[in-house]
Amino acid sequence: MQPTPVHSGIPYLDEVLQGLRLGDNVVWQVDELEDYLYFVRPFANQAVVDGRRCVYIRFAPHIPVLDENPRIEVVNLDPSPGFDYFSGEVHRVIEERGREVFYVFDNLSALVEEWATDELLANFFQVTCPYLFELDTVTYFALDRGRHAHSAVARIRDTTQILVDTYHVDGQLYIHPLKVWDRYSPQMFLPHVVSGDSWQPVFQSGVAAEVSAVARKYPLPSADNTIAPWESVYRRLSRYRGSDGALLRSDPEFIALKQEFCRMLIGSHPEFDSIADRYFTLDDLFAVRDRLVGSGRIGGKAAGMLLARRILLTEEEENRDAQEFKFSDYLEPHDSFYIGSDVFFTFLVNNDLFRLRLQLTRDSKFSREEFEEVERRFLAGTFPPAVVEQFRSLLDYFGQAPIIVRSSSLLEDSFGNAFAGKYRSEFCANQGGPDERLEQFLRAVKLVYASALNPDALSYRRKRGLGESDEQMAILVQRVSGMPYKGWFFPSIAGVAFSRNLYAWSDRINPDKGMIRLVFGLGTRAVDRVGGDYPRMIAVSNPELRPEVGRKIARYSQHHLDLLDLRS
């Protein structure tokens, strides 16, 4: 039996959410009350047009969210006597009015002003929402976005049928559905541009990264306050936010704290430390901390990526007048997340895998068949609830945008040790509902963790005298660059660049200028050589010069591409 369709009063919203249904509780997380008005007034007007009974629960000091209408009943309630009284009064109103009533509530954040805790707000929602669901009502609520404890919002999310973020970026209104119960479409959980003519999902990776990074500056639940140096150093450094950079460079306490915090995030490598201290700003380090799942270091690959970007941008700023080419005009915004190395050890310990790691690290003979059993044990492992909740927030941030879960061990991509291809990276098409996407993501993380015990990686470490070194697996989670096309997702071009060209096929090439392996589609085909298919080889010193001539150009060219299938 098909659910009874309900109209929101905004056809484009009905299209995004696949329509409302009887029983839906809809929570709008808003930056401004006016954004709630944009959605709630058409909903109430449509309910009246459709002959529905509409009730407005009025309790907040802000302006009325609905215009006066004789066909809309207004019930004034006072929350000041407390949670128990107010919840009882709301239940009385709901019980007296019966089934299939459409409700509009004031902004629930006003209740916190009266009750002083987010906990009671979540309690109110958890006792009210299921009752409304049982009676086949449709109800609109609002919450101030980013003002409430994550634990309270998580309880509201678990209880409601629909949860939608709304925000403004550069004056443009966006919506981003975070939960839509029992409905799905390929674009449902993407940010959408809200405009009068049409609402468009944000597909292009660079635009999506820029919009999401501005809209959700603190996308992860904050860590618990502790006296551990990890937190205490961060809190002491937070006092310097917004301070004059020139003055800070001569402040010995600040310099010492910044260096200590950098070592906690990046690790301590003599060759790397001086470069990191010079280029990383305090804001850079805070940005990493704000996007770090758990605690610990972010690993060599993540640190190298961040430092390379910062060097390019800093050199551009310092030589602004002399440089004609600006990297900032071409670098795609990045909104990466990091899974700290401590999470890896917690996973090993909680799932009885730590001793297995010690045994295999010391065992010189380890077959591929045995490694498959290791992978099965890792896939059966579980994460602590607090970490899973951070994973959920990470996936809420990306919506249905494809992501890649990349190994970033402490030794990886460090000076003298590339570990190229030794550890695993997993693409996530990131399609389906929130629970399905979480399951895909957890599997990817576990496979990357298991790859730390890959026989090839262990052999590589032993050959380089790193068998007993402190090797911890952090993870870098990145948005995949590209655009969707007919159910597939890929970038127009991708590649890998080398600082030195070891394949200088002509004396017109300067090897010191480097080389690029360029492909159409995902860059995996540029990194992993595939028999019978060839990337475009570009000598940076003479980019139009090819190593092939005549008919060989067709033969030694790319004939296939790597992509993500969004339909599978």
Nearest-angstrom CA–CA distance, 393 and 390: 5
Q: What is the pLDDT of residue 364?
A: 59
In a domain, 208, yes or no: no
Residue pLDDT, tens place only, 149-172: 999 999 999 999 999 999 999 999
Residue 162 near residue 27 (C-beta atoms within 8 A)? yes
Pair (143, 286) in one structural domain: no
Residue type, 58: R
Q: Is the pLDDT confidence value at 322 over 70?
A: no
Pair (428, 513) in one structural domain: no
Q: Exposed e or buried b for every residue in 446-484, given b needs 16+ CB within 10 A? A: bbbbbbbbbbebbebbeeeebeeeebbbbbbbbbbbbeb
Q: What pTM was computed for the model?
A: 0.91
Pair (21, 152) in one structural domain: yes
Q: How many domains in the chain?
A: 3
Residue 208 near residue 235 (C-beta atoms within 8 A)? no
Pair (389, 250) in one structural domain: yes
For residue 241, which of 222, 223, 261, 226 has the smallest C-alpha distance? Answer: 261
Dihedral class, residue 433 (left if φ above 0, else alpha if ψ from -120 to 50, else beta): beta
Pair (332, 425) in one structural domain: yes
DSSP string covering 374-432, please? Answer: HHHHHHT----HHHHHHHHHHHHHHTT--EEEEEEESSTTBTTB--TTTS-EEEE---S
Pair (132, 79) in one structural domain: yes
Of residues 315 and 419, more confidence is placed in: 315
Q: How confident is the model at residue 228 (pLDDT cuts 50, 70, 90)?
A: low
Nearest-angstrom CA–CA distance, 176 and 397: 9
Query: Is the C-alpha dihedral spanning 291, 293, 296, 299 positive or negative?
Result: negative
Instruction: Choose the final residue of a domain: 438, 460, 481.
Output: 481
In a domain, 149, yes or no: yes
Question: 347, exposed or middle or buried, with CB in 10 Å at 0-12, 13-18, 19+?
Answer: buried
Pair (289, 409) in one structural domain: yes
Task: Report the 10 Å Cβ neighbour count for 377.
Answer: 14
In a domain, 213, yes or no: no
Residue pLDDT, tens place only, 390-419: 999 999 999 999 999 999 988 876 666 666
Nearest-angstrom CA–CA distance, 227 and 530: 52
Nearest-angstrom CA–CA distance, 501 and 512: 7
Tokens representing 401 are 């945008």
Nearest-angstrom CA–CA distance, 563 and 560: 10
Q: What is the pLDDT of residue 527?
A: 85
In the numeric block, the tokens 């999310």 are attached to 157
Q: Is the pLDDT confidence value at 148 over 90?
A: yes
Pair (56, 179) in one structural domain: yes
For 123-238, strand residue ranges (E) read 138-144, 162-169, 172-180, 192-193, 200-201
Query: What residue numbers bound the domain in which 493 lies?
Result: 488-565
Percent of the chain with pLDDT over 90: 73
SS (H, E, C) 318-359: HCCCCCCCCHHHCCCCCCCEEECHHHHHHHHHHCCCHHHHHH
Phi, psi of 253, deg, nearest 5: -65, -45
Across the chain, mean pLDDT equals 91
For residue 403, which of 261, 208, 260 has the smallest C-alpha distance? Answer: 208
Q: Is the pLDDT confidence value at 329 over 90?
A: no
Nearest-angstrom CA–CA distance, 207 and 191: 11
